[in-house]
């Protein structure tokens, strides 16, 4: 990976961290305890509870992605990004652009 490409990936990581942090803040808002307001009907309450479960799942996934991104940020700072941790081969630039936190090349990820 060239320096220019490494810089581009580092920028993508920064952007993704920023946006995922915002999403986490929103999801935390949405996963606050459901108020059992007497003015809403039973169905709306069920909806609210279902949505909360979906949002909680999404929140867990986002938090885990954020951790991966932060680790990728550290690797990028050390210049280790873009190498497959399993076989040591370069991870294709196109793959890193989509999943900058990936630590495996396509072959190793598929195994
Ligand atoms: Zn590999």
Output the CA 83–ligand 1 centroid distance in Å: 8
Domain of 65, in residue numbers: 3-80
- Residue 75 inside a domain? The answer is yes
- Residue 90 inside a domain? The answer is no
Separation of alpha carbons 58 and 53, rounded Å: 9
- Residue 91 inside a domain? The answer is no
Write down the pLDDT at residue 38: 62
- Residue 51 inside a domain? The answer is yes
- Residue 89 inside a domain? The answer is no
Structural domain count, the chain: 1
- Residue 99 inside a domain? The answer is no
Output the CA 109–ligand 1 centroid distance in Å: 7
Q: What backbone torsions phi and psi does residue 89 show, to the nearest 5 degrees?
A: -75, 160
- Residue 97 inside a domain? The answer is no
Output the CA 35–ligand 1 centroid distance in Å: 49
CB 31 within 8 A of CB 55: yes
CB 49 within 8 A of CB 40: no
Output the CA 34–ligand 1 centroid distance in Å: 45
Write down the pLDDT at residue 39: 67
Per-position pLDDT tens, the chain of length 111: 888 999 999 999 999 999 999 999 999 999 988 776 666 677 788 888 889 999 999 999 999 999 999 999 999 998 888 889 999 999 999 999 999 999 999 999 886
């Amino acid at each position: 990976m060239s320096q220019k490409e490494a810089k581009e990936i580092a920028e993508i990581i920064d952007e993704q961290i920023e946006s995922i942090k915002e999403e986490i803040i929103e999801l935390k808002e949405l996963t606050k305890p459901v108020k059992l307001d007497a003015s809403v009907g039973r169905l709306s309450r069920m909806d609210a509870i279902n949505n909360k479960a979906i949002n909680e799942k999404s929140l867990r996934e986002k938090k885990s992605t954020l951790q991966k991104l932060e680790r990728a940020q550290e690797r990028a700072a050390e210049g280790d990004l873009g190498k497959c941790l399993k076989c040591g081969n370069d991870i294709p630039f196109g793959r890193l652009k989509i999943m900058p936190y990936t630590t495996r090349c396509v072959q190793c990820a598929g195994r």
